[in-house]
Amino acid sequence: MSDNSDNNVAIRIDSLVKSFGSLQVLKEISTEIKRGEVVAMIGPSGSGKSTFLRCLNLLEMPTSGKIYIDGIEITNPKTDVMKMRQNVGMVFQHFHLFPHMTVLRNIMYAPMKVKQISEEKARQKASELLARVGLAEKANVYPSKLSGGQKQRVAIARALAMEPDIMLFDEPTSALDPEMVKEVLDVMKGVTESGMTMAVVTHEMGFAREVADRILFLDGGCIAEDATPDEFFTSPKSDRAKQFLEKIL
């Protein structure tokens, strides 16, 4: 533990830079996310939201800068990345369920393999989670038989099964038919109520406004605005944010 172990801070990001070749996608981003805080990240396409999120569990390796999770610098090559990832769940736009496993197996797999939890316990936990996302009756079905909304709810249950303290969502409803968006957002709302620290990239402004504690508006690889939902949606400070809101609201 270092002097960065402020107990209220779940994630600290310090001058994060990410480049793909000569393209600098994230430009010295620094911020903190508090424990239990729900942060919505919004911004125009290509502004670096996904890249930012994916740096937080090192699916993308930052070019420079430091990221601390629970006070531990995960960008340090000596840090056990797999251990860190057990504590940081991620939900993807396109679900990425394991197609050759049943819904229940999808959820049981990582706890059994990674945490060495017994099959019995894993099954019980998975069933509870399935009930929690409203899909108890789909336990023995293969993912291909589910609707998009159902797939995403299973994906959320799969991530929750590792009992992470932090959850990352990358546009979890963008690939869904409109009538399925609500069921997924409702599940996510449920997750926020458990005190989970959440970073959510989303285009659902209603959700961001209602559920998030804080909005990060990204533009051109920088945090152009960091505000409460009320401030951001009623009186955005930057011109870019104003333009962005005009376009989508």
Ligand X SMILES: Nc1ncnc2c1ncn2[C@@H]1O[C@H](COP(=O)(O)OP(=O)(O)OP(=O)(O)O)[C@@H](O)[C@H]1O
Binding-site residue total for Mg ion (CB under 5 A)?
Answer: 1
Pairing of the two strands 166-170 and 9-20: unpaired
Q: Terminus-to-terminus CA distance in the chain, angstroms?
A: 44
Q: What is the DSSP letter of 47?
A: S
From the list ligand X, other proteins, Mg ion, none, partner contacted by residue 25 (C-beta under 5 to 8 A by kind): ligand X
CB of 208 to ligand X, least distance (A): 14
Q: Residue 67 is inside which H or E element, if any? A: strand 64-69
In the list 5, 6, 83, 137, the residue contacting other proteins (rule: CB under 8 A) is: 83
From the list other proteins, ligand X, Mg ion, none, partner contacted by residue 57 (C-beta under 5 to 8 A by kind): other proteins
CB of 149 to other proteins, least distance (A): 18
How far is C-alpha 239 from the chain's CA centre?
27
Q: With respect to other proteins, which residue has the nearer C-beta, 59 or 205?
A: 59
- 184 residue type, one letter: V
Q: Give yes or no for residue 91 binding ligand X (CB under 6 A).
A: no
Q: Is residue 73 a contact partner of residue 67, using CB atoms and an 8 Å limit?
A: yes
The strand ranges marked E within the chain are 9-20, 23-34, 38-42, 64-69, 72-73, 88-91, 166-170, 197-201, 214-219, 222-227
d(CA 8, CA 36): 9
Q: With respect to ligand X, which residue has the nearer C-beta, 51 or 197?
A: 51
CB of 107 to Mg ion, least distance (A): 25
Beta-bridge partner residues of 175: none
Q: Is residue 233 a contact partner of residue 209, using CB atoms and an 8 Å limit?
A: yes
Q: Give yes or no for residue 75 binding Mg ion (CB under 5 A).
A: no
176 Cβ partners below 8 Å, 6+ apart? 148, 149, 152, 184
CB of 138 to Mg ion, least distance (A): 28
Interface characters, 12-41, with ligand X (x: CB under 6 A): --------x--x-x----------------
From the list ligand X, other proteins, Mg ion, none, partner contacted by residue 59 (C-beta under 5 to 8 A by kind): other proteins
Q: Give yes or no for residue 158 binding other proteins (CB under 8 A).
A: yes
Q: Give yes or no for residue 49 binding ligand X (CB under 6 A).
A: yes
Contacting range for other proteins; rule: CB under 8 A; set: 9-17, 25-33, 158-166, 236-244: 158-166
DSSP string, 70-128: TTEETTSTTS-HHHHHHTEEEE-TT----TTS-HHHHHHHHHHHHH---HHHHHHHHHH
**What residue ranges bind other proteins (CB under 8 A)?**
57, 59, 82-83, 85-86, 88-90, 92, 94, 96-100, 109-110, 113-114, 144, 155, 158-159, 162
**What residue ranges bind ligand X (CB under 6 A)?**
20, 23, 25, 43, 45-51
